[in-house]
Structure formats: C-alpha cells, structure tokens
C-alpha cells in the first residue's frame, strides 16, 4: 500500500515552518494501542488538523502523520463517505483497506470522554454525512476556547450584531476590500470568511492560540491577529489605508453607479478628487453616476433606522394604493437588526395575483407625479420558470426590481432621526434627504426564497448556497431550491421550511449577521 506523506496533504502555498508539530512523537504516552488514527485534511484545513492531531495524542491516542496499513480509523470532517472513497482512490489507497471511515464527531466525542467511544453511529455511509446544525461543535479542552470551535458554514452559526472581536474583523474587512479592489477574489474571500468566524465567537480573542481549531484561520489571518494583539494595530492594514490606489478606489466606488472598472479608469486618467470628476468635460457619465454625484453628500451618509422606517411608510402607502393585499417587507441589514445602512431594501409580493410586474410601473409613475423620485432604474424580470437555480453562489437573481433615489421629506422622519446638513447655507435650507431605495417584486410562490436571499448577510447567503451544493446535493438561489438527487424543485411557504429542507436549524434574521 502506498503511503501518503503529510506534505502531500498540505497545499504548497501553506507549507510553512509553523505547520508541523513542535512536540516530538516520542514524548506522547500511548494509552490505547488498539487504535491508530489518521485525520484527513480535506475540507478541514491544515491548522485544525494539526490541532486535533496534537489534542488526540495528548489524550493518549496514536495518531499517524501518514496513512498506512497500521491505521485503523480514518477521520474526516464535512466529507461524505463517497467523497472520502474518491479521495482515497486519487491517492491510490485500496478501497478494501481495513480501517473504519468515521466523522470527526467520533474523535471529538473521544476527546470529551477521555477514552475511545463506540464508533458505530459515527461511521460514514455512502451519500451520508453527519451534520452539526448547532452553533458549537462538541469538543472540549480544559482551559481553552477550543470548546467553541464553529462550523465552516455561516449558515450553521448564529451571528448577532454583538461582535466581541471588532478590532480584528474591522482589520480583516479593510484587507478584504483592498483585495476586492485589486480583483483578487481568493484573498478577499479568505479575509471575509475569517471575519465571519470571529464575529460569531462569544468571547474576545486575547491570544493567537484562541483561534486554533477554528475554520478559515490560515497563517496570514493569524499574523494579522498577532500584530494587533502585540502592537494594537496591523502594519498591513496601515499600509493599505495609506495607499493612494486604495483610498481613491474607496472614494470613487462610494459614488452611486461607479464600479471597479470605472474607478480604475478614472484613476488612470489622473483624476484624484470628485471635484475633478465633476469638472472633466470629456468624461461621459451614465445617468446613475450623474445622480450619484448630484446627491453624493446625502447618499454617502448612513441611513438611520428612523429614516428607513419613514421610507417604509412611503413605500407601503404607495404600494397599497394600487394593491391593498400586497406584502411589503423591509429586508437587508435593517431586517437583521442593524441601526444604520447605506440603502433601504424592500421585497414586494401580491398573494393570489398574477399582476405583480405592473405594480412597480404604477408606483414609479405615482412618485414621479408627487415629485418624490430623484432617479430610478427599472429592470424587468428575466426569470425562466423551467430554469434551475444558479451554480454560482454569488449569482444575481432575475426578479423585477427598481433601484431608486427617493426624496425623503424630513418632517416624515421621527424624533430619533439625526439628519444633519452637510455643507452650505443652501443645504441648511433643504427640507429633504436623498436616500437609496431598492424595490424587488417576487411572485408569491417564490416569496420565501426571495425573502431569505434579500435578508442577507452576503456571507451568510454565500455559505447557505455552498452548504446546499456541497453537503446536500441541492441548488439554492433567490428563486428556488432544487434537489439534484430527487430531480425536483422543493416548495417552501416560509424561510423555516427552506432550512428544514436543508436539514438546518432555523436561524433568525437577527442571527445572520455573518
């Protein structure tokens, strides 16, 4: 039987001197000689694998660095039996080998008991993998925060707005944004995933070892954490904040209608301020960009919850004028409990009606006559009824939608609002504020999926779709859930039913701030 070297299991870019255990194997006392364990790194990550190997050895278990004939128990996490069998085949391991294929829950149960436990219920069966829908995976080490190891999927974590690690997650978000500007999707996603994990932890990180065993905690992530712990700041983050390209990308993309390509174009043209953009006679701006610059000071300021509630009254009053039975739901960050946002999103559906697509046209015409509409872009539905959900976890949906800038009269805003003028005396006289409002119209039978998708957060939705694909052999988007095994669409009248289809505990909207 061929041996798989430990170095073969670790991607080359991750092989760093800190990856190997510093404790000699001879220093561990083996208590359970009948068991020899090999831990598969696939879907687990190198750091968590090394952590579990060291923990098991300290508990008296024999753990091999290499997969050989002496191994009796192969342990994997978030893998099905068929996936592990395929992995073994790729590495030229005979399928008739005499070891057991077990979920990592068996190993963590052994750690908790301090001895081997019955492995029968932890065996990986074909097309089956044990799932952990709870917030924390069940393993413990005394005096360590490893007791709070969480799932790699944000949809299996409860993430409120109570962030105990904001100084770290803020740093990760800046680094992620910089990589996004540079169109480095892999590095951007790595820092966003790490930030998402830290946001759900019920304790503050006080040493680097506190993140051992957590998913997505690579060496770069740990390096930033260590810098902040030692210096109260990260030199990498400071370098980004002082970088002209980053600062101008952030400035230009803060304009409504300006994306990365336009931002880069303006930078190459030598433009360095928004005033230069406004004054460049040769610059061809879109309608959206002109509106974004015209109302920039209003749009770049945060929308308060009081302003969102006022916008909600305007939207509901108008929609119900034409369709009294319509459901109008405030979605996005405000549905997740946030107090501020950059825009206000609404999902609209009409039970028992097939006239949903006419509704937005009526709303837009009414707002035009009322003088409330400062800008709008209406996009008609492109949904095909026979179309399966997209395989792309970041795919846009096909609903009819309107991206608008609404004139919100200040007298409509409640006493809790803090709308403040920005600059000139003319601004002081203005009795309204421009805010971005997105209206999305969904057919009633797709409403539950649309509500789930438009509630967010982005990372929660991304992981929910990834979980559906990799763990359940399903395809999920804002329109539907398709079971590839049964070859059928799964109907759902509520978000709870969608979670049930996926075998997940229901996560409340205010717990989706991943």
Active site amino acids? 343, 345, 438
Residue 48 CA to residue 40 CA, distance in Å, equals: 11
Residue whose structure tokens are 């003028």: 421
Residue whose structure tokens are 């980004």: 240
Per-residue burial over 116-147, b = 16 or more CB atoms within 10 Å of its CB, e = otherwise:
bbebeebebeeeebbbbeebbbebebeeebbb
Tokens of 71: 């191994």
- Using CA atoms in the order 47, 51, 54, 56, what is the torsion angle rounded to 10 degrees? -130
Neighbouring residues of 265: CB distance < 8 A, sequence distance ≥ 6: none
- Phi and psi dihedrals of 497, rounded to 5? -65, -35
Residue 299 CA to residue 293 CA, distance in Å, equals: 9
Closest CA to 497 of 475, 480, 472, 511: 480
Q: Other C-beta atoms within 10 Å of 174: how many?
A: 19
Instruction: Determine what percent of the chain falls in helix, strand and coil, rounding each to the nearest 5.
Output: 45, 15, 40
Residue 198 CA to residue 214 CA, distance in Å, equals: 9
Residue 328 CA to residue 237 CA, distance in Å, equals: 41
Residue whose structure tokens are 């194997």: 25
Residue whose structure tokens are 């701006």: 285
DSSP-derived secondary structure letter, 257: T
Tokens of 202: 């019920």
């Amino acid at each position: 039987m061929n041996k798989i070297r430990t170095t073969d299991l670790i991607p080359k870019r991750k092989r760093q001197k800190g990856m190997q255990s510093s404790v000699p194997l001879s220093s561990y006392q083996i208590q359970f000689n009948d068991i020899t364990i090999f831990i598969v790194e696939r879907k687990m990550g190198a750091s968590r694998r090394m952590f579990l190997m060291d923990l098991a050895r300290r508990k008296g278990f024999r753990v091999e660095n290499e997969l050989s004939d002496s191994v009796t128990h192969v342990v994997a996490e978030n893998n099905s039996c068929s996936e592990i069998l395929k992995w073994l085949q790729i590495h030229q391991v005979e399928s008739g080998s005499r070891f057991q294929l077990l979920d990592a829950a068996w190993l963590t149960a052994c750690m908790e008991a301090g001895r081997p436990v019955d492995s029968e219920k932890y065996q990986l069966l074909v097309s089956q993998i044990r799932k952990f829908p709870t917030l924390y995976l069940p393993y413990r080490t005394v005096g360590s925060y490893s007791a709070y190891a969480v799932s790699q999927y944000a949809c299996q974590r409860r993430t409120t707005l109570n962030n105990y690690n904001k100084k770290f997650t803020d740093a990760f978000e800046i680094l992620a944004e910089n990589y996004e500007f540079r169109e480095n999707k892999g590095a951007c996603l790595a820092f966003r995933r790490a930030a998402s994990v830290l946001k759900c932890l019920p304790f503050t990180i006080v040493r680097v070892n506190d993140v051992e065993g957590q998913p997505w905690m690579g060496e770069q992530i740990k390096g930033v954490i260590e810098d902040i712990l030692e210096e109260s700041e990260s030199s990498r983050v400071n370098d980004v904040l002082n970088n002209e390209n980053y600062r101008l990308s952030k400035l230009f993309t803060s304009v409504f209608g300006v994306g990365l390509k336009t931002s880069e174009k303006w930078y190459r043209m030598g433009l360095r301020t928004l005033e230069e953009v406004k004054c460049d006679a040769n610059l061809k701006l879109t309608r959206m960009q002109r509106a974004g610059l015209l109302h920039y000071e209003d749009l770049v300021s945060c929308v308060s919850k009081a302003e969102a509630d006022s916008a909600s009254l305007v939207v509901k009053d108008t929609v119900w004028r034409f369709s009294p039975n319509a459901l109008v739901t405030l979605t996005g960050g405000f549905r997740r409990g946030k107090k501020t946002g950059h825009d206000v999103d609404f999902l609209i559906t009409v039970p028992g009606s097939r006239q949903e697509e006419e509704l937005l046209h009526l709303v837009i015409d009414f707002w035009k006559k009322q003088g409330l509409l400062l800008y709008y872009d209406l996009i008609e539905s492109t949904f095909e009824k026979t179309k399966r959900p997209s395989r792309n976890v970041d795919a846009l949906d096909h609903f009819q939608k309107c991206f608008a800038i609404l004139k919100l009269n200040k007298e409509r805003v409640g006493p809790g609002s803090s709308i403040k003028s920005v600059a000139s005396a003319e601004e002081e006289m203005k009795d309204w504020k421009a805010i971005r409002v997105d209206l999305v119209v969904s057919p009633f039978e797709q409403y539950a999926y649309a509500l789930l998708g438009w509630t967010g957060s982005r990372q929660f939705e991304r992981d929910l779709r990834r979980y559906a694909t990799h763990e359940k052999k399903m395809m999920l988007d804002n329109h539907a859930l398709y079971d590839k095994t049964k070859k059928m669409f799964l109907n759902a009248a509520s978000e709870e039913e969608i979670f049930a289809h996926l075998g997940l505990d229901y996560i409340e909207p205010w717990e989706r701030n991943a």
